[in-house]
Chains A and B, each alone.
Chain A
Amino acid sequence: AQSVTQPDIHITVSEGASLELRCNYSYGATPYLFWYVQSPGQGLQLLLKYFSGDTLVQGIKGFEAEFKRSQSSFNLRKPSVHWSDAAEYFCAGENSGGSNYKLTFGKGTLLTVNP
């Protein structure tokens, strides 16, 4: 079955430190992959997406993600975290072919930023 897994439920980092949030996927073929961010009580905002081509994807707010086929991963990174980055982050995947629509979300990683 198709799935997206975020192994870390909660991560705490200090402001200014680097960040990496993990995402693993299980699909028959290379899926479309997305990272969304959600502030408390708000909707989801798209940070970046991967469809094909360059495996390093740049997004908004200084985030980037790297697609690694050999590891079935699509980890989100940021070189220096700001207090405003505290939020919940969701990785999502979708089949890149076929007519059956299905966007599958991971369960999210809650990011806490210490001053």
Chain B
Amino acid sequence: DGGITQSPKYLFRKEGQNVTLSCEQNLNHDAMYWYRQDPGQGLRLIYYSQIVNDFQKGDIAEGYSVSREKKESFPLTVTSAQKNPTAFYLCASSSSLAGADTQYFGPGTRLTVL
């Protein structure tokens, strides 16, 4: 089955630690995205990538980093510089960045900082 997988589903980290969230897609999509979701806040864009080895900051990129070394993978690192990292993180992908191309979402990773 084609789709997007995110791992782990739940993640706990201590303050001051970096943590990496995995996102993999087998839809052969060029574009991939990371969103952060907080209760009552909707989804906010952290980073997006149009093609391999290229990515752009979204609205709330501070304290986060990404890489796009392979088409199917777009890992997100939450660094210790992120002031309030506890949230639900969603990865998405689409054929391209064109607005007509629908974004498909993974199941999400819930990160809790202890």
A residues engaging B (CB < 8 A)? Answer: 9, 31-32, 34, 36, 41-46, 49, 51, 90, 94-96, 101-103, 105-108
Contacts and interface: CB of A to CB of B under 8 A. Distances in A.
Interface string B21-46: 00000000000000000001111110
B108 A42 contact: yes
B63 interface: no
B18 interface: no
Secondary structure call for the A interface:
loop
Contacts of A90: 42-43
Contact of B42 (A46, A51, A96, A106): A106
Contact of A42 (B43, B44, B107): B107
A103 B103 contact: yes
Contacts of A31: 99
A65 to B, nearest CB: 15
A108 B42 contact: yes
Given A44-B90, A94-B99, A101-B99, A107 B40 contact: yes
A66 B50 CA distance: 31
Given A42-B107, A103-B99, 19 more contacts: A32-B99, A41-B108, A43-B90, A44-B90, A46-B102, A46-B103, A46-B104, A49-B102, A51-B99, A51-B100, A101-B50, A101-B99, A103-B45, A103-B103, A105-B43, A107-B40, A107-B41, A108-B40, A108-B42
B64 interface: no
A102 B58 CA distance: 9
Interface string B45-80: 100101000000000000000000000000000000
A42 B4 CA distance: 12
B97 interface: yes
A101 B48 CA distance: 9
